[in-house]
Amino acid sequence: MAEIRIRPAEPSDVSAIHAMVCELALYEREPLASVEAREEDYLRDCFGPARRCEVLIGEVDARVEGFVMFFPDYSTWVGRAGIHVEDLFVREAARGLGLGRRLLAAVAQIALQRGCKRLDLAVLDWNPARKLYERWGFTPLAQWIPYRLAGADIARLAAEAGN
């Protein structure tokens, strides 16, 4: 039986994290050019003094085979912090071993320790992992439509702030 270990990421993991983000882009049918992040970005934002997110690493038989990246969010209705899972990825060779579930369970444990009331994630509509998430208790929020503002559109809107 494979030995699975979940641990906090360390700065020495940034190459593996970046490689898995690239693998995730390909899995999500995106060109590698879509991944603008560099290893320095992960060093700054996951391990620097103004940390913006956290990463847990999933190992199978001492090999890095997956990761989960998450950050705090806040619910004005609940009046409590939550955790948003930005990415959960398990390499193909390690799928079916329970690594993804263990990674999410570790985030759920962190959420409880921090008094969080919710754990959110978003999944592409074609991703077969949706069935797993629903089996684990996640509820699809079909009534919510995600929107994104990026690049020049952010600058254009910000210019209207008048400050």
Point out the residues that are catalytic: 133
Q: DSSP letter string over 114-136?
A: TT---EEE---TT-THHHHHHHT
Q: Token match 């992960």: residue?
A: 42
* Number of continuous H segments (helices) and E segments (strands) in the chain: 5, 5
Q: Token match 């970005």: residue?
A: 41
Residue 94: phi and psi, rounded to 5, are -105, 0
Q: DSSP letter string over 90-114?
A: E-GGGTTSSHHHHHHHHHHHHHHHT
Q: Are 90 and 99 in contact (CB under 8 A)?
A: yes
Q: How far apart are CA 92 and CA 21, in angstroms?
A: 13
